[in-house]
């Protein structure tokens, strides 16, 4: 049932293009990676924000079972609920971004919220907060960590345009998956060596590092 949409017509050739029209047409036809660093910044933000996401997805179950003594079934329920809420959060954030007419502002808000949520989780774990508090914060952090994915994906496609969006989205996914693949064993080693709260704190730092990297405004090539 998947069909390709009609291909956009090529830009009409002008017999005597003005300097302004030539400059306006060139960016949309050439590589979106040349000149401006808009796409590179979105990729970098996505890589930084996927590190907390990968950490929570990989180790939330182990944290509940081994760190807090939950049964595997109860921990599985928490993980399932967090994933369902995360799926809903992606849709909500997409609707919010459509309403406000921006992808970058919601992404920046997610980065700030995720950094704060992970910092609170790290503090709760370090201070030995009641299990209900820590688990609630973990669910909130999990939901926040996944809610930006659709926004970044859309921003990449919108900026790259129909002729480059496939390649740009491939770069986006590849960068995220490579980052998670490299980080997961390192996170496991860190948990084994220093425990969970320093790892939660490190994830908060990664999310915080994404905040200034988010482009200041949405951009589309013309």
**d(Cα 51, Cα 206) in Å, to the nearest integer?**
7
Angle, CA of 112, 45 and 163, to the nearest 5° = 135
What's the mean per-residue pLDDT of the chain?
Answer: 87
Specify burial of residue 6 (Cβ count, 10 A radius: 0-12, 13-18, 19+): exposed
Residue 129: inside a domain = yes
pTM of the predicted structure, to 2 decimals: 0.83
The angle, 0 to 180 degrees and rounded to 10, between the axes of the packed helices 72-100 and 131-146 is: 40
Tokens of 204: 């908060």
CATH code of residue 155: 1.20.1250.20
pLDDT top residue among 83 and 131: 83
Residue 61: inside a domain = yes
Residue 71: inside a domain = yes
Residue 38: inside a domain = no
Residues 6+ apart with CB under 8 A from 13: none
pLDDT of residue 24: 38
Domain interval for residue 148 = 44-210
Q: Answer whether residue 189 shows pLDDT above 90.
A: yes
Residue 151: inside a domain = yes
**d(Cα 122, Cα 128) in Å, to the nearest integer?**
10
Residue 92: inside a domain = yes
**d(Cα 125, Cα 59) in Å, to the nearest integer?**
14
What total of structural domains would you count in the chain? 1
pLDDT of residue 99: 93
- pLDDT tens profile 1-43: 888 777 766 655 444 444 333 333 334 567 888 877 889 999 9
**d(Cα 45, Cα 111) in Å, to the nearest integer?**
9
Grade residue 175 by pLDDT with cuts at 50, 70 and 90: very high
**d(Cα 60, Cα 84) in Å, to the nearest integer?**
15
**d(Cα 50, Cα 48) in Å, to the nearest integer?**
6
pLDDT top residue among 29 and 107: 107
Answer yes or no: are the C-beta atoms of 213 and 49 closer than 8 Å.
no
In sign, the C-alpha dihedral spanning 164, 167, 168, 169 is: positive
pLDDT of residue 176: 95
End-to-end C-alpha distance for the chain, whole angstroms: 31
Residue 95: inside a domain = yes
**d(Cα 73, Cα 30) in Å, to the nearest integer?**
52
Answer yes or no: are the C-beta atoms of 168 and 39 closer than 8 Å.
yes
pLDDT of residue 130: 87
- pLDDT tens profile 109-159: 999 999 999 999 999 999 988 888 999 999 999 999 999 888 999 999 999
pLDDT of residue 12: 54
Residue 67: inside a domain = yes
Cβ atoms within 10 Å, residue 67: 16
- pLDDT tens profile 36-81: 788 999 999 999 999 999 999 999 999 999 988 999 999 999 999 9
pLDDT of residue 190: 96
SS3 label, residue 11 = coil
């Amino acid at each position: 049932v998947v069909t390709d949409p009609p291909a956009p017509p090529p830009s009409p050739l002008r017999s005597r293009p003005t300097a302004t029209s030539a400059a306006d047409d060139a960016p949309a036809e050439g590589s979106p990676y040349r000149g401006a660093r808009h796409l590179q910044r979105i990729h970098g933000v996505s890589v930084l924000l996927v590190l907390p996401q990968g950490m929570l997805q990989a180790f939330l179950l182990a944290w509940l079972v081994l760190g807090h003594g939950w049964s595997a079934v109860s921990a599985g329920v928490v993980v399932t609920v967090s994933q369902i809420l995360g799926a809903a959060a992606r849709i909500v954030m997409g609707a919010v971004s459509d309403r406000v007419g921006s992808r970058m502002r919601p992404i920046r808000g997610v980065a700030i919220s995720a950094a704060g949520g992970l910092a609170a989780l790290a503090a709760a774990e370090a201070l030995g907060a009641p299990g209900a508090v820590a688990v609630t914060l973990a669910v909130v952090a999990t939901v926040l960590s996944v809610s930006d994915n659709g926004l970044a994906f859309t921003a990449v496609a919108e900026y790259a345009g129909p002729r480059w969006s496939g390649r740009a989205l491939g770069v986006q996914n590849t960068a995220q998956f490579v980052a998670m693949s490299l980080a997961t064993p390192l996170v496991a080693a860190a948990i084994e060596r220093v425990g969970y709260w320093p790892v939660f704190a490190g994830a908060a730092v990664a999310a915080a590092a994404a905040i200034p990297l988010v482009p200041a405004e949405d951009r589309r090539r013309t």
